[in-house]
Amino acid sequence: MTEFTPFQSLIGGVLIGLSAVLLMALHGRVAGMTGILTGIIPPAASDWSWRAAFLAGAVIAPALYLAAGGVIPFEVPVSTGALILGGLLVGIGVHFGNGCPSGHGICGLARLSRRSLAAVLTFMLAAFITVFVVRHVIGG
């Protein structure tokens, strides 16, 4: 089900890190996708343009990769209902955790934020428990 893709993973990690560093250096902002997204939803933030450009890049980059002949093997082994429920739970966690996993995990840990460390440990623990319950208790 999961393939080992060290080169693609390395390149993706470097690009994510570079975008986070550039966003902090050029705009003084943390690259948390949820915070960026909420700034373009009305009422839009005053710095709407860089947020829209950042999100457009997140959509356009994979499209360019596919257009260049790249392949993105992707499958979703759960139902649409499970995806919706998972999205709602993540949204609730983002609200109460004051940030999304990308903001805490990439930027917060890089800044040695104790709050982000606690958030990431909580995300990971919840993920481990969820995978264990779904795969070994429920049998999904």
Which band of pLDDT confidence, cut at 50, 70 and 90, is reported for residue 67?
very high
Using DSSP's 3-state secondary structure scheme, residue 13 falls into: helix
pTM of the model: 0.69
Alpha-carbon span 9 to 131, nearest angstrom: 22
Which band of pLDDT confidence, cut at 50, 70 and 90, is reported for residue 33?
confident
Q: Say what the alpha-carbon torsion angle 111, 115, 118, 122 is, to the nearest 10 degrees.
A: -110
Alpha-carbon span 54 to 69, nearest angstrom: 23
Whether the pLDDT of residue 1 is over 80: the answer is no
Rounded to an integer, what is the distance from CA 96 to the centroid of its chain? 17
**How buried is residue 58: exposed, middle or buried, by Cβ count under 10 Å (0-12/13-18/19+)?**
middle
Residue type, 110: A
